[in-house]
Structures are given as structure tokens and as C-alpha cells.
Amino acid sequence: MCTFEIQQLVTQEEVNDLKHAAPFQNIIPKPFIPIKEGDSRKEKEQELKVVMKKLEQKYAPLQVVPVIEKIGTEQQVSIAGEGDLLTRERLCCGLSMFEVVLSRIREYIDDPLWKGQPPANGVMNIDECTEFHRLWSAIQFVFCIPVGDNEFTIEELYGEGLNWAGCALIVLLSQQRRFEALDFSYHILKVNRVDMKDENVKGIQLKKMVDRIRKFQILNNQIFAVLNKYLHTNDADSMPVEHVRCFQPPIHQSLATTI
């Protein structure tokens, strides 16, 4: 989360730099030309070209690279050209510190410890809990339990940091879809939307817990959207719904035949 906020600040600073550097790089915004009744489009385009030509001539003495080429040394010309190119292209290249950090973390967690052994049925583990998203589901379930008097919620203690950490690991491990389908808290939310019960279960008010689950779900979705945007995920878990893997229904042992 900290890296993402730094990335946003750096991007804002770069946009600021580009705006300040524009007059010195022959980057002149097109002025507004009012259109009057009876004016043709061709006439307006011609008028705009004349106005732009005048502005280019006006700001020509401010252009750094041509001035340095005339009066500077060979080294100064090279430095000015490189600086001009960097200022123009750094945002166009899509350079992202946040993306680099996420890619580095992905390399660190490329280990069976985080993903578990491949499922025996080829789909998912049923009786075993070997993937990280199942662990995070248990942790999130505890986060969603309403606190008592004189107690602090997890967001009051740590803000959104833990949510960012958990969701980042889930996305980097390509477990987002399985997390959203099998999360314990999300299951409670879905059931409550059907039965609409508001009971006190073992000292926990169900309505308050469901409200907290919904808030966590909204926050998780926002974090997943940001992470997927920077990671440009194209794995099987992030493919559109149309790409569905089909499996044969299970066959009872009494009906199975041996070949």
C-alpha cells in the first residue's frame, strides 16, 4: 500500500514536471477558437494553424534543445537531448515502481509452500487446506467479528495495510477467483442476504458482522482492481466468464465400469 501511494505521488510530480517543461519543449496547447454562425470548418482549421504558428514563433527562444545546439558544447548538447527525451517519454513508457515491486514479490513467493500440492482431482483440494487464500479467509473471518466495548477494530489499529498485504499475495498467487468463491465470510454474507436473520450467536450480533463483511468485500474488490490493473493479469483465474472449464460429473463406484 505504501508503494502504491508513493507511485501515485511520483506520477503527480511527473505530470507537474511535464506541465512546467512544456514551454521549453515546444509543447504548446491549442488555443480556443470561437466558432461563429456561418464559419466553415476549413476556415477555422486554417485560423488555428495561423495562431499556432505565431505561438511557436513567440516561444521559440525558450526551447532549450535548439538554443543549446547553437551555443553549447557537444557534451551540453548531448545532455540536453537526453533530458528532453526523458521528460517527453517517461510517462508514455508506462514505467511503474509499484509494478516492479509486485513482480519482485511474486518471485519471492514462487514456492509450493504458498500454493500447496496440485489437487488430486485436477480442480481443487476439498479435504485439505493448502493454499494461501484459505488461510487468509480464516484471518479475514476473525477481522470481521465485531469488537466489544473499549476494543479496537483491525482497521483502527492498522488501517488498510493488512487488507492490501493479503489481497496482494492472493493476486500474485493467482488465487483471486477461488478466494472470492470459497471465502468463509463471503459465504455468510450470501446466506444472510437470503434468510435476513439478525440473531445473537455466541455473543456476536449477526447483523453487525454481516455489515463488516460487506465493507471488507468492497475494500477487497477495490484493492483487487488496482492490483490487476498494474499487473496486467492474463492468467486463467482472471479470464472472462465465457472461458469456462467443463468437467464430467462424478460417477458413483457402483456404476463405474472397468475397461
pLDDT at 240: 52
pLDDT at residue 131 greater than cutoff 90 = no
- Report the distance separating Cα 152 and Cα 158, nearest Å: 10
Work out the number of other CB atoms within 10 angstroms of the CB of residue 227.
21
Residues 6+ apart with CB under 8 A from 192: 206, 210
pLDDT at 238 over 50: no
Give the separation between CA 140 and CA 151, rounded to whole angstroms.
17
Greater confidence, 139 or 114?
Answer: 139
Mean residue pLDDT across the chain: 80
pTM of the model: 0.62
Cβ contact 111:130 at 8 Å: no
Evaluate if residue 169 carries a pLDDT over 80: yes
Q: What per-residue confidence (pLDDT) applies to 90?
A: 63
What pLDDT score was predicted for residue 16? Answer: 78
Biggest alpha carbon distance in the chain? Answer: 92
Least confident of 127-136, 163-172, 249-258: 249-258
Quote the CA–CA distance of 95 and 257 in Å, as a whole number: 58
Do the beta carbons of residue 191 and residue 131 sit within 8 Å? no
**Residues 52-82: pLDDT tens digits?**
888 888 888 888 888 888 888 888 888 888 8
- Measured CA to CA in angstroms, residue 107 lies from 81, 99, 179, 207, 225 at distances of 36, 13, 21, 41, 21
